Chain A
Amino acid sequence: GAGVSQSPSNKVTEKGKDVELRCDPISGHTALYWYRQRLGQGLEFLIYFQGNSAPDKSGLPSDRFSAERTGESVSTLTIQRTQQEDSAVYLCASSITGPQYFGPGTRLLVL
């Protein structure tokens, strides 16, 4: 079946603009995660959705970052007033139990 998809695959924006990143998880997966991976760095956890429970937002780096998920489907990660340090690959993953399955990521470049 279809894997996790993310859009756009690449995004170039100007400092101060808002961006919205989209993730379509694997159908039926109750858990959805967002991570950030800066160039040459590891995975930085951002936010975790599990079913209808309140999301775990403990990884969001500032109040400029927010995410929503509609039921157990699509999620959007919004970054307001982007800064150059927001440049990274933003990865989405979904799971049901056990391992996560990752999307290809959105490569964000803030000029």
Chain B
Amino acid sequence: AQSVTQLDSQVPVFEEAPVELRCNYSSSVSVYLFWYVQYPNQGLQLLLKYLSGSTLVESINGFEAEFNKSQTSFHLRKPSVHISDTAEYFCAVSEIGDKIIFGKGTRLHILP
């Protein structure tokens, strides 16, 4: 069965600095991969997804994630963070046709 590991529970970053939120998964078959974001006091929103094709996927607000099959990773990156990026970020994986499993989340703190 698949599983997801988000190694960092909290990541503090200065505003305008780059950030990487790490996500590793385990699965023996092909997977779909997702990042969700939860802003303070709001619901979960899909940030970006990898289903097939290009291993580099991008969101509309400057985040990107790269599917690395050999390292079973799907790290989330942004070259320059803004205070509005303060949120909790969840990585998720599903084996095709099976349920989606979420990581425990990484809380991104943007420091002024």
Contacts and interface: CB of A to CB of B under 8 A. Distances in A.
Interface in A55-94: 56, 91, 93
Nearest to B1: A58
| Chain B interface size, under 10 / 10 to 19 / 20 to 34 / 35 or more | 10 to 19
Contacts of A93: 44
B105 A42 contact: yes
B46 A45 contact: no
A28 interface: no
Interface of A: 31, 33, 35, 42-43, 45, 48, 50, 56, 91, 93, 95, 98-105
Interface of B: prevailing SS: strand
Given A98-B49, A99-B34, A99-B49, A45 B99 contact: yes
Contact of B104 (A42, A56, A99): A42
Contact of B43 (A42, A48, A99, A105): A105
A32 to B, nearest CB: 10
B74 interface: no
Nearest to B92: A100
Contacts of A102: 36, 43-45
Contacts of A56: 99
Q: Across the A-B interface, give the 3 residue pairs with the lowest CB-CB distance, nearest first.
A: A42-B104, A48-B99, A42-B105
Contacts of B44: 43, 91, 93, 102
B111 interface: no
